[in-house]
Amino acid sequence: MAKCELCGKSVAFGLRVSHSNRKTNRAWKPNIRRVKIVSGGTHRTAYVCSRCLRSGKVERA
């Protein structure tokens, strides 16, 4: 579910590298918020990342 409905940003995977150079898996999760938006003249709820909220890509209800 961790996916922005506007830009499609989702979980990114990579490696956590320790000081001794051991590598383990890790994930970067996007900052997803459930907000009420205006879409096509109607109000609805959507899962939107904080970058889309800050940049004004979405109009809040």
The pLDDT tens digits of the residues spanning 17-57 come to 999 999 999 999 999 999 999 988 999 999 999 999 999 99
- The residue type found at 28 is W
5 within some domain: no
- Token pair belonging to 34: 């459930």
- Whether 6 is covered by a domain: the verdict is no
- For the record, the structure tokens of 23 come out as 């590598």
**Pairing between β-strand 12-17 and β-strand 32-39 as defined by DSSP bridges:** unpaired
Confirm whether 3 is domain-assigned.
no
In this structure, is residue 4 part of a structural domain? Answer: no
Tell me which residue range forms the domain holding 28: 12-55
Q: What is the pLDDT of residue 18?
A: 98
Number of domains in the chain: 1
61 lies in a domain? no
| 36 in any annotated domain | yes
* CA nearest neighbour of 2 among 39, 31, 37, 44: 31
The verdict on residue 41 lying in a domain is: yes
